[in-house]
Structure 1
């Protein structure tokens, strides 16, 4: 083999940032330690082409699929029973989501998010269903910086908040699909009233994007992940943690307010 790394899992992770979206799907299959298939059957199983799998092998520094399977078999054999219990498809999915989040990271977009949050005192958080849990996390983090945050988690209250929103309001929308027609109407109404919008979504074709000052793209779920093995708010929470970390770095003066709130809570 051309590559000196003898652990396929380590080899895959070392190349993660260089993979295309199709190659990420192939990588996830092996990281999840799924069964060994022929190249044609694997192509059918994960809905990619056989040449894509061959290109994936080449990107790993292997000559062909046969070498990949040989290295995969060795790597599986070297795993202890305890290790195989830990590295389940669920933990592999979490790792894959984190890697896809890193691949979609745009520093300027996150900076723009932070600057708008910093310059606005009143922030409305719109999130249906599981997104409301992400809203609570956002509230916990940023209320410490003196922000007044209100979470709206149903279409009726979102529409009402849009009707009363104004130029002093920043509205952060959390939605992986970002295509709900009622939310779109609320966005259009809020925009007419002068509100500014931020969006976190996995849908790069969302009709919401045109109305937002900035958009951050969360990792999208694979078909297996979408079945419920991973909590649906995880991709959003990853992005909120990225925003929070960047905010603290950019606006260090606000940390004083955070420290004050910490002292109040301790007392």
Structure 2
């Protein structure tokens, strides 16, 4: 899905120079599209400044900017429904999630889950919402899940976790210092760690036994039209689907024992 250029420009505004602010204001006023030569003359700025502006908002050149600009203008004219826009965004997110899929990684993730009954889920902010979903799913197949969301409790849990327990860390951005410290502590205690993040360069990755790469949000999505926990939830759904396929017999035995206890 192509990003709305107006939202893209607004999301970068705090990083603009005074010249770039002028270029941004021109486009946000939704004037008719111009060539780079005419725009340079109209705004009294250099063509190199316009090119730098394009790179500042994550585009390669003015040609790409003008393409997205015209597309965004046309979309406004077409007055697409909110439903169509959100459906397209979810489809794009699902497609990006699928491109990261590795069955070997998913199977390794599931194997560690299968080997441990007690699981500590570390997630702060919106990542903690994914923890509630994880707890609901895996409690149904015999796991004891603790969702831990505040910094002090996360560090304390890492200090007291045993090597026969498991830690799952969810951090979409993968740049959290407290989670990093907790993972280092748990690693020293030989506690296995699973990580879900969208940051393939995250400082957390070296301290995890298995890392699932979630889809990253575009700048437009990160402004709030997509709930930020969705990429993590997609990965957890994939894990759960694979888990009940790999360990169907063990799950069936646990469900049978539960039924006996309730008689």
TM-score, normalised to structure 2, is 0.71
1:212 paired residue number = 208
- After superposition, residues 1-267 of structure 1 pair within 5 angstroms as 27-29=1-3, 44=54, 47-49=58-60, 84-85=80-81, 87-256=83-252, 259-260=255-256
Compute the displacement of 1:49 (Å): 2.6
> Is the Cα contact below 8 Å between 2:194 and 2:209 reproduced in 1?
yes
Larger Rg: 2
Please identify runs of 4+ aligned residues in structure 1 that moved more than 6 A: 35-41, 261-264
Counterpart Cα distance in 1 of 2:88 and 2:34: 22
Q: Which runs of 5+ in 1 are unaligned?
A: 1-26, 54-64, 67-71
> Is the Cα contact below 8 Å between 2:120 and 2:147 reproduced in 1?
yes
> Is the Cα contact below 8 Å between 1:28 and 1:92 reproduced in 2?
no
Counterpart Cα distance in 1 of 2:207 and 2:221: 30
Compute the displacement of 1:252 (Å): 1.1
> Is the Cα contact below 8 Å between 2:196 and 2:211 reproduced in 1?
yes
Counterpart Cα distance in 2 of 1:262 and 1:48: 56
> Is the Cα contact below 8 Å between 1:163 and 1:189 reproduced in 2?
yes
> Is the Cα contact below 8 Å between 2:141 and 2:255 reproduced in 1?
no
> Is the Cα contact below 8 Å between 1:39 and 1:50 reproduced in 2?
no
Compute the displacement of 1:178 (Å): 1.5
TM-score, normalised to structure 1, is 0.70
Q: Which runs of 5+ in 2 are unaligned?
A: 5-29, 37-49
